[in-house]
Amino acid sequence: MENGFFLITGTSRGIGEAIAKKILENANTVLGVSRNQSSSLKSSNYHHLSFDLNEISQISRIMEKADEIVGKRSFAFLCLVNNASASEPLGAIEKCPAEEIDSHVKIGLIAPMILTSQFIRRFSDTKTRKKVVFISSGAAFTPFSGDSIYCSAKAGIHMLAQCIGLEQKEKEYGFEVITIGPGMVDTHMQLVARSKTSEEYASADFMRRAFEQGLLQKPDAVAKKILTILENKYEQGQYVKESEI
Quick one: pLDDT at residue 1? Answer: 76
Quick one: pLDDT at residue 201? Answer: 93
Sheet holding 129-135, edge to edge: 46-50, 29-34, 4-9, 77-82, 129-135, 176-181, 238-241
Quick one: pLDDT at residue 172? Answer: 93
Which residue among 46, 150, 201, 239 is the active-site one?
A: 150
Query: Can you give the pLDDT of all 245 residues of the chain as single tens digits?
Result: 789 999 999 999 999 999 999 999 988 999 999 999 999 998 999 999 999 999 999 999 999 999 999 988 999 999 999 999 999 999 999 999 999 999 999 999 999 999 999 999 999 999 999 999 999 999 999 999 999 999 999 999 999 999 999 999 999 999 999 999 999 998 888 989 899 999 999 989 989 999 999 999 999 999 999 999 999 999 999 999 999 98
Quick one: pLDDT at residue 239? Answer: 97
**Cα-based distances in Å from 38 to 48, 101, 114, 189:** 9, 26, 24, 17
Q: DSSP H helical segments within 14-109, as ranges?
A: 14-24, 60-70, 98-105
Q: DSSP H helical segments within 46-130, as ranges?
A: 60-70, 98-105, 111-123
* 204 vs 72: CA distance, rounded Å: 50
Quick one: pLDDT at residue 64? Answer: 97
Residue 14 has, within 13 A of its CA and on its CB side, a CA count of 24
CA neighbor of 49 nearest in space, from 62, 39, 63, 64: 62
* 80 vs 129: CA distance, rounded Å: 12
* 29 vs 7: CA distance, rounded Å: 9
CA neighbor of 189 nearest in space, from 132, 135, 115, 126: 135
Would you call 150 a catalytic residue per the annotation?
Answer: yes
Quick one: pLDDT at residue 112? Answer: 98
Quick one: pLDDT at residue 119? Answer: 98
Quick one: pLDDT at residue 187? Answer: 87
Quick one: pLDDT at residue 115? Answer: 98
Instruction: Count other C-beta atoms under 10 Å from residue 85's C-beta.
Output: 25
